[in-house]
Structure 1
Amino acid sequence: MCGRFAITLPADAMAQLFAAQPANTLPSVPNYNVCPATAVHAVQAGGTGRQLSAMRWGFLPHWYKSKTAGPLLINARAETIAEKPAFAKACRDRRCLIPASGFYEWTKAEDGARLPWYIRRSDGAPLAFAAVWQSWGSADPVKTCAIVTTAANQGLSAIHHRMPLILEPEDWGKWLGEDGHGAARLMQPGAEGLLDFHRVDPAVNSNRAEGPELIEPFGEEDIPRGRLI
């Protein structure tokens, strides 16, 4: 799954990277602890080109009477997204990209303590998560989204059995619906060697934590980067 991530790119850099027109109001960056139910940056295709706008991370199906009427849907499984009533139409018609610098996952120590890891591209490039979105509410509609996840590749499976669906630049147009059909074929685990990871400070276990120190290596003298011991 993906339950927390970081975004450090300035908004104009994101707009340039995705060749998108930025909205006037976007979430503040950098944000080293992006949490569910908060606003995230999202890229979607439109009649006038790609748009970079804010969406609420937590997909709200149209039948929800309130934002808390059901489970907080922050992820959508690639294997079942096309059949799930909440996501099926969005999977066909409303796909978007969510930029990220990296994301967090957790393992458990022998004493049950949660040990956070920061995961990023090995080449240092930004990540583009595949996502779906839904406009919810009639009086004051809000765009909401969920990140698509796949089975983890072999390298990441030591930390978690799921991972976000990460798309390469040549696949962005296909996912956004600009390059015809075939988005379903993109829903595969990331290539081996795509990601690197290292332990980070347990301070990030709190959704109130903030600051660049959250993504810095923690205990590097004991735990080498890129593998578990």
Structure 2
Amino acid sequence: MCGRYAFLLPPEAMIALFKVLNEVDYPPRYNITPTQPIIAIVERQGRRTAELFRWGLVPGWVKDPREFSLLINARAETMADKPSFRDAVRNSRCVVPATGYFEWMKGTDGVRRPYYITSNETETMAFAGLYSTWAGPNGEEVDTVCIVTVDPNLEISGVYDRMPAILRGQAAIDGWLNTRDVDIRGAVGLAVSPPQGTMTYHPVGKAVGRADAEGPELIAPLTAEQAAEEAQSARPRKKAAGGSQLDLFG
């Protein structure tokens, strides 16, 4: 699962790296969470643009999004067969650029904490994504997106059992976005785990767990002092003596 990520690429660099035809005014973000607006790159009739989408895909056939599960990820192995994703796999594939992402894991000290995961190959990763436009009964439209996930490679398997599908190289990005010439089978073949040795990670502070947290300190490696403080706060507290009333109402 990929439920938090960071995106630090300047707008002008987006044009050079992903060959889009426009700029999107989007500040550096260190803690992007589901339901927030995110940048995704789409290609329509040969024109590649960067656009804002709501993270959490809602298929067009959904009547009421409030009664529909929030789909922030799609499993690559089953996306072509699932009603929620199969139309998007065929017609509405996109790229979600990211600098790094977060997963939680229990450390050697027994404390469960977040880890920040990045690529050894590039400063900006291209996550495979799917998008859909939901149209409401009153004419409102919401562009929504999810991130495709795959089995982890060797180094990430020690952190979590899923990871984003990373499109490595311009040919993979071009193929994923080209829904006219690359069919479902070809697209599924592009959504694969990166090779061993291409990813790295380090523990970070628990502040990233707050949806309102933001700033470069969220991706900074955890210091020994921070780790000790978190381990101390994670220890179970002893119940106060004095009987059940004190335990219940204290």
Structure 2 length normalisation: TM-score? 0.82
| Residue of structure 2 in register with 1:4 after alignment | 4
1:148 corresponds to 2:152: no
Unaligned runs of 5+ in 1: 224-229
State the one-letter code of the partner of 1:94: S
Structure 1 residues 72-119: Cα deviation after superposition (integer angstroms, max 9, x where no partner):
000000010000000001001110000000000001358975300000
Alignment map for 1:61-210 (pairs within 5 Å): 61-108=59-106, 113-138=111-136, 139-168=139-168, 169-177=170-178, 180-181=181-182, 182-210=186-214
- The structural deviation recorded for 1:200 is 0.5
Q: Which moved more, 1:151-160 or 1:168-177?
A: 168-177
CA distance, structure 2, for counterparts of residue 5 and residue 61 of structure 1: 23
| Residue of structure 2 in register with 1:217 after alignment | 221
CA distance, structure 2, for counterparts of residue 30 and residue 220 of structure 1: 27
SS in 1 for 2:189: helix
Name the Cα RMSD after superposition.
2.1
Following TM superposition, the consecutive aligned residue runs of length 4 or more in structure 1 with deviations greater than 4 angstroms are 109-113, 220-223
- The structural deviation recorded for 1:192 is 0.9
CA distance, structure 1, for counterparts of residue 57 and residue 32 of structure 2: 15
What percent identity do the matched residue pairs reach? 39
Structure 1 residues 156-211: Cα deviation after superposition (integer angstroms, max 9, x where no partner):
00000000000012211110016822222112211111111000011111111100
SS in 2 for 1:41: strand
CA separation of 1:65 and 1:178: change in aligned 2, threshold 3 A: closer
C-alpha contact (below 8 Å) 1:114/1:205 kept by paired residues: no
CA distance, structure 1, for counterparts of residue 202 and residue 225 of structure 2: 12
CA separation of 1:220 and 1:154: change in aligned 2, threshold 3 A: farther
C-alpha contact (below 8 Å) 2:39/2:51 kept by paired residues: yes
Structure 1 length normalisation: TM-score? 0.90
- The structural deviation recorded for 1:221 is 8.9
C-alpha contact (below 8 Å) 1:152/1:162 kept by paired residues: yes
CA separation of 1:66 and 1:22: change in aligned 2, threshold 3 A: farther
Structure 1 residues 33-81: Cα deviation after superposition (integer angstroms, max 9, x where no partner):
0000011111011125101110111000123233322110000000100
| Residue of structure 1 in register with 2:18 after alignment | 18
Structure with the greater alpha carbon radius of gyration: 2
C-alpha contact (below 8 Å) 1:154/1:192 kept by paired residues: yes
Unaligned runs of 5+ in 2: 228-250
SS in 2 for 1:13: helix
Q: Which moved more, 1:155-164 or 1:180-189?
A: 180-189
- The structural deviation recorded for 1:123 is 3.2
| Residue of structure 2 in register with 1:38 after alignment | 36
State the one-letter code of the partner of 2:21: Q
- The structural deviation recorded for 1:125 is 2.1
C-alpha contact (below 8 Å) 1:27/1:54 kept by paired residues: no
